[in-house]
Amino acid sequence: NGDRIPQVGAREEKKAECGKKKMKEGAGDGGRSELSPWPAFINERLEMYNKLKAEHDALLAERAANDSKPIKVTLPDGKQVDAESWKTTPYQIACGISQGLADNTVIAKVNKVVWDLDRPLEEDCSLELLKFEDEEAQAVYWHSSAHIMGEAMERIYGGCLCYGPPIENGFYYDMFLEEGGVSSNDFSALETLCKKIMKEKQAFERLEVKKETLLEMFKYNKFKCRILNEKVNTPTTTVYRCGPLIDLCRGPHVRHTGKIKTIKIHKNSSTYWEGKADMESLQRIYGISFPDTKMLKEWEKFQEEAKSRDHRKIGRDQELFFFHELSPGSCFFLPKGAYIYNTLIEFIRSEYRKRGFQEVVTPNVFNSKLWMTSGHWQHYSDNMFSFEVEKEIFALKPMNCPGHCLMFDHRPRSWRELPLRLADFGVLHRNELSGALTGLTRVRRFQQDDAHIFCAMEQIEEEIKSCLEFLRSVYDVFGFSFKLNLSTRPEKYLGDIGVWNQAEKQLENSLNAFGEKWELNPGDGAFYGPKIDIQIKDAIGRYHQCATIQLDFQLPVRFNLTFVSHDGNDKTRPVIIHRAILGSVERMIAILTENYGGKWPLWLSPQQVMVVPVGPACDEYAQKVRQHFHDAGFMADVDVDPGCTLNKKIRNAQLAQYNFILVVGEKEKTSGTVNIRTRDNKVHGERTIADTVERLLQLKGSRSRQAEEEF
């Protein structure tokens, strides 16, 4: 199943036959080789498919003969091409333009919906031809690659394929095995078989089949039956075939397996069905693919760089934080990590004072009635930690907005109080599946620089503009560039269309006044209001979503929030602006760790100053120097290890990423000075302690990213 998250289903009485076959060991490297013969279910499934496909092809030929009519196909440049319904395919149109275009097209887009290149067009339509550079085309390319790997997995392991989607950087496939597991030693055999499959240019075929027929086709695989029983709510659904693999899948796919030019299997892990620890354990294999080997080499180089910057590794090496199985998804911040955490919060807190935000403190635990009022209980209760207290259900808060609504509502409000900007660093908990927890980027316990602005309709434009300026000032400090998207009213929205139009116009005006480039993302807003999506770009070119600027027309209705307007109307509804800049502090620390590669700027660094005495005779003076910096508010240490040479101490401090290393000997001791160098071995020479403290305080206070150079 390439694109549906499977659920637990009812049809489990028949024991799965896949996964039982004894796997053959490879010759020499401890890996696997292809099963001979293949598991029986592969041929049985294929035989059933071929009968269905013959019936389908006959019906399609009949339809092409009887129902075909001339249609117009509109290309992106406005040009129209003549075609015939149920006969002409997007690939044929691409060939009519140029063979080069046809060869380089990954997938078609018909009336804004991705569409197989060899699937006949059905009516007048618009047509786009997407190359690999397009994000939607990449998703299709990696989805098809997952099917190639899935075919190889069936032929090597004989297990039950489960779920195999494209992901942000490649694809994976999960498989259930009754015996044994997956080893990295198997990767070579898997890649070799994938390349053989690619060389065969197996066509991707789409077939729509009745649900009950598919339950028979996949009776050997209890996981596919669960998907059909729990996720498929229509009489029919689609399967795709390449070679002997037939899988439940919405598609679309590339034309044939030969379109995938290079593939790499690079990682494996264990996971649980649906990420639930009480369900079956599955083997997950990850891969990546590209249209040429140069792109793969660039990806491999990027992975090495990303690996060296992994926040989990740096966090361990620099003793910033750790996780423990006794509290999954909840980070233990060690003293150095806590310094970074608190410094970030204090940074935002100092900005709040300048920008008219008032900080509040709200409870961690609320009666479930609050979440029923807000609407979260109906849609989000599975992601909340809930428990019974005196026969009533309570839950740890996963977000702050409902609590802030109670604050707004606890007494009558006047237009004179608006905009009311409430900020909250309260601890939040979300019951993420254990299999989804990933370092600091996906956690269960976290804090946000969360704020909610209660304002009148006519104040939206100015408030959004202020939020954007706030955002830019913070990201400038970190050195992040960013891109902006305005997401507008979706098809299924709540509220008055006039209110939506007015709000969207104000957001547009705010973005235009802000002066940064932005793009429109039509129809991608939340059902309760339009939003601005912000993605920051890190040092190695990755984009991350952190900040939130979201309008909300519905929470004020749900909580019946009102204020007295200028004209005395005491039933006037406020608008809520949900706003965060760091987002989750935990996730921002992960991003900053990887962005800086552990080389923290002075103001944020948990290791700012290391004092290094030349020899034991200067140890006491070194301790005094360290105390001066400690008293001035710096994270300062001293190295008096008698077993290390001076050069070794300096090198250790540089490797530990201390921003400044202060060497002291007899000369410095006599004159009350320090000899200054940086972690990059730039020598700044001798300065008095007082001058050094003053200069570093200036650099720290300005939040300079290049303090070592600017000293």
State how far Cα 145 lies from the chain centre. Answer: 21
- Same domain membership, residue 102 and residue 178: no
Mean pLDDT (the chain) is 92
> Which entry of 138, 283, 318, 448 is annotated as an active-site residue?
448
450 is an active site residue: yes
> Which entry of 241, 421, 452, 544 is annotated as an active-site residue?
452
56 is an active site residue: no
d(CA 313, CA 319): 10
- Same domain membership, residue 198 and residue 88: no
Which residue type is seen at 141? Y
Please report whether residue 29 resides in a domain: no
pLDDT-derived band at 7, boundaries 50, 70, 90: very low
Domain finish residue from 596, 625, 648:
596
211 is an active site residue: no
Please report whether residue 149 resides in a domain: yes
Please report whether residue 462 resides in a domain: yes
Query: Which of 22-31, 510-519, 549-558, 598-607 reaches the highest mean pLDDT?
Result: 598-607
Residue 27 has pLDDT above 60, yes or no: no
Mean of the pLDDT values across residues 392-419?
96
| pLDDT for res 17 | 60
- Same domain membership, residue 656 and residue 611: yes
> Which entry of 125, 242, 331, 401 is annotated as an active-site residue?
401
- Same domain membership, residue 655 and residue 562: no
Please report whether residue 569 resides in a domain: yes
- Same domain membership, residue 152 and residue 117: no
| Domain of residue 482, CATH code | 3.30.930.10
Contact 119, 252 (CB under 8 A): yes
d(CA 436, CA 271): 9
566 is an active site residue: no
What is the rounded end-to-end Cα distance, in angstroms, of the chain? 58
pLDDT-derived band at 1, boundaries 50, 70, 90: low
Mean of the pLDDT values across residues 250-254?
95
Domain finish residue from 76, 106, 134:
134
628 is an active site residue: no
- Same domain membership, residue 609 and residue 469: no
> Which entry of 147, 489, 578, 579 is annotated as an active-site residue?
578
| pLDDT for res 277 | 79
Collapsed DSSP state (helix, strand, coil) of residue 43: helix
- Same domain membership, residue 666 and residue 543: no
331 is an active site residue: no
Please report whether residue 584 resides in a domain: yes
| Domain of residue 121, CATH code | 3.10.20.30
- Same domain membership, residue 264 and residue 190: yes
d(CA 610, CA 655): 12
| Domain of residue 180, CATH code | 3.30.980.10
How many independent structural domains does the chain possess? 4
Residue 20 has pLDDT above 70, yes or no: no
> Which entry of 206, 429, 430, 705 is annotated as an active-site residue?
430
- Same domain membership, residue 540 and residue 472: yes
Please report whether residue 401 resides in a domain: yes
- Same domain membership, residue 620 and residue 553: no
> Which entry of 116, 134, 450, 533 is annotated as an active-site residue?
450
Domain that holds residue 86: 68-134
Tens digits of residue pLDDT in 614-628 = 999 999 999 999 999
Stated as kind and residue range, the H or E segment containing 320 is: none
Q: At what angle do helices 689-701 and 619-631 cross, to 10 degrees?
A: 40
| pLDDT for res 301 | 92
> Which entry of 413, 531, 587, 669 is annotated as an active-site residue?
531
430 is an active site residue: yes
Query: Comparing 205-209, 272-276, 359-363, which segment has the lowest mean pLDDT?
Result: 272-276
- Same domain membership, residue 688 and residue 643: yes
Tens digits of residue pLDDT in 217-241 = 999 999 999 999 999 999 999 999 9
Contact 216, 51 (CB under 8 A): no
Which residue type is seen at 373? T
Among the listed residues 92, 44, 107, the one whose alpha carbon sits nearest the alpha carbon of residue 250 = 107
pLDDT-derived band at 26, boundaries 50, 70, 90: very low
Contact 510, 497 (CB under 8 A): no
Residue indicated by tokens 């950087």:
169
Contact 485, 518 (CB under 8 A): yes
| pLDDT for res 128 | 96
Domain finish residue from 549, 577, 596:
596
pLDDT-derived band at 19, boundaries 50, 70, 90: low
Please give the full DSSP string across 16-30, using - where no structure is assigned. Answer: P-TT-SPPPBPSSSS
Tens digits of residue pLDDT in 82-106 = 999 999 999 999 999 999 999 999 9
Please report whether residue 311 resides in a domain: no
- Same domain membership, residue 484 and residue 516: yes
| Domain of residue 638, CATH code | 3.40.50.800
Please report whether residue 327 resides in a domain: no
Q: Which residue has the higher pLDDT, 161 or 542?
A: 161
Task: Extract the tokens encoding 136.
Answer: 């939607």
Based on the number of CB atoms within 10 Å of its own CB, is 310 exposed (0-12), middle (13-18) or buried (19 or more)? Answer: middle
d(CA 504, CA 526): 13
Rama region for 111: left / alpha / beta (φ>0; ψ in -120 to 50; rest): left
